[in-house]
Amino acid sequence: MTERNIHVQPASGLAVEDQDIEVVERKGIGHPDSICDGVAETVSRALAQTYIDRFGKVLHYNTDETQLVAGTAAPAYGGGEVLEPIYLLVVGRATKAYDGQRVPAESIALQAARDYLAEQFPHLDLGSDIIVDVQLGEGSGDLQTVFGEEGTVPMANDTSYGVGHAPLSETEQIVLQTERQLTGQYADENPVVGQDVKVMGKREGDHIDVTVAVAMVDEHVPDLAAYTDAVDRVRDFVSDLATEHTDRDVTVHVNTADDYDAESIYLTTTGTSAEQGDDGSVGRGNRANGLITPNRPMSMEATSGKNPVNHIGKIYNLLSTEIARSVAGEVDGIRQVQMRLLSQIGSPIDEPHIADATIVTDDGVAVGDVADDVRAAIDDELADVTDITRQVIDGDLTTF
């Protein structure tokens, strides 16, 4: 046990799972905001890896400002077309020369962005449907001084804040899994389902409404009947999925804005609303744990694209969530743990100014009974803070 300044305290209210009303949202990977998050984070990882390969350490950069300008499309049964390409501007700062060597930061960013889009969006034609542009400037020169060799614990260069919680509530699990599975294996097997899937869960007491908006892919929709069939199958799939996570009563709504009489339906050519009318940018959607949870404390931090070595906001948001998961997983009797980290400028980032765990225990368990175990679990995670950096670069931690 170190001297770290760790506090464990009881929560003053109910666990979210036990509150009357809960609202949870997740924007799928094909939502314009998430496209920006994904590109920003992929570019970040590519730059970090390049710096490590060439210099043995990550140099200064931040690529957390991608902007997407929607295109124009004319989806149609059986396959429509993109009329005006989506415009994606990757913005950020990077070290372009170090130790006498020049670094192809912009070329790497461009390649990483295009590769990511190619992998994630099978219905988006990279040759005609999207223009990827890059503007990476250089940052302030002295920012590099905060960086050490890989594995050493850097100093905090800002006062920043991270929050995380565990375990996920049932509604959160349903929302998260619905999007992951729909845009994952389900979309692989059912190419009619595009990548732009938006899920909102709203629980009132013991009733959960799951509202899903799915961008259907026109090439796989020959007519309205095929569309309604696809909608029905998504509804069934999500209903089944929900029962794996809750015994509560669940109602699933899919593409509720459709008007079949007017044949106004959610049809796309590319599987994302970025093709028509929906712009996007980094940090406007999901928080670092993949969810938007207005019932919980949230950080405004745009995590995706930030440098995982020295950006305290990114590290502490990811770490808070990791710590909360670890506590909830390792310590018995925890119904909910809410974690909060606040950095101290000039101190090593494994010694936060504040490390607070706010606990709701199971019935019959007192916070005092678990406090030492919780503190120990937190301490272990803080000691391994540089693991966060490594996992981010390896893509083992998602940021949106």
Enumerate residues 282-341 that contact its own copies by CB under 8 A. Answer: 282-285, 287, 292, 294-295, 297-300, 302, 340
Phi and psi based region of residue 100 (left: phi greater than 0; alpha: psi -120 to 50; beta: remaining):
left
Residue 56 is labelled as binding a ligand: no
Stretch that binds its own copies, among 51-59, 181-189, 279-287, 330-338 (CB under 8 A): 279-287
- Binder among 2, 5, 78, 83 for its own copies (CB under 8 A): 83
Q: Report d(CA 64, CA 108) in Å as an integer.
A: 15
Nearest Cα neighbor of 112 from 41, 10, 160 is 41
Sort 226 into a burial class: Cβ within 10 Å, 0-12 / 13-18 / 19+.
middle
6 contributes a contact to its own copies by CB under 8 A: no
Nearest to its own copies of 7, 184 (CB atom): 7
Closer by beta carbon to its own copies, 151 or else 294: 294
Query: Is 133 an interacting residue with respect to its own copies (CB under 8 A)?
Result: yes
Residue 23 as a binder of its own copies (CB under 8 A): the answer is yes
Span interacting with its own copies, options 127-135, 179-187, 225-233, 238-246, rule CB under 8 A: 127-135
Total residues binding its own copies (CB under 8 A):
85
219 lies in the site for its own copies, by CB under 8 A? no
Q: Is 93 among the residues that bind its own copies (CB under 8 A)? A: yes
Cα dist. 157→33, 154, 162, 310 in Å?
A: 28, 9, 15, 8
Backbone angles phi and psi of 23, in degrees to 5: -125, 135
Q: Minimum distance between the CB of residue 161 and its own copies, rounded to whole angstroms?
A: 5
The whole-angstrom separation of Cα 148 and Cα 154 is 7
- How far apart (Å, rounded) are the C-alpha atoms in residues 99 and 16? 51
Q: Is 239 annotated as a binding residue?
A: no
Three-class SS state of 278: coil
Q: How far is the CB of 179 from its own copies (least distance, A)?
A: 16
Let me know the angle formed at the C-alpha of 167 by 164 and 209, rounded to the nearest 5 degrees.
100
For the chain, strand residue ranges (E) read 6-10, 21-27, 61-62, 67-69, 72-74, 81-84, 86-94, 97-98, 101-102, 130-137, 161-166, 193-204, 207-217, 249-254, 267-268, 280-281, 334-342, 354-361
Q: Is 139 part of any known ligand binding site?
A: yes
Quote the least distance from Cβ 251 to its own copies, whole Å: 14
For its own copies, give the closer residue by CB, 62 or 195.
62
Query: From the list 78, 104, 184, 191, which residue makes contact with its own copies (rule: CB under 8 A)?
Result: 104
Closer CB to its own copies, 3 or 12, in the complex: 12
Using CB under 8 A, which residues numbered 331 to 390 contact its own copies?
340, 342, 345, 354, 356
Residue with tokens 């940052």: 139
251 binds its own copies (CB under 8 A): no
Which one of residues 1, 127, 247, 363 is an interface residue with its own copies (CB under 8 A)?
A: 127
Q: Is 248 in the site for its own copies (CB under 8 A)?
A: no
Q: Is 195 left (phi over 0), alpha (psi -120 to 50) or beta?
A: alpha
Report the distance separating Cα 160 and Cα 313, nearest Å: 5
Name which of 167 and 313 has its Cβ closer to its own copies. Answer: 313
| Residue 140 is assigned to a ligand binding site | yes
Give the range of 60-68, 224-232, 320-328, 388-396 binding its own copies by CB under 8 A. Answer: 60-68
Q: Which stretch binds its own copies (CB under 8 A): 82-90, 244-252, 307-315, 389-397?
A: 82-90
Distance, in Å, from the CA atom of 126 to the CA atom of 121, rounded to the nearest integer, reads 9
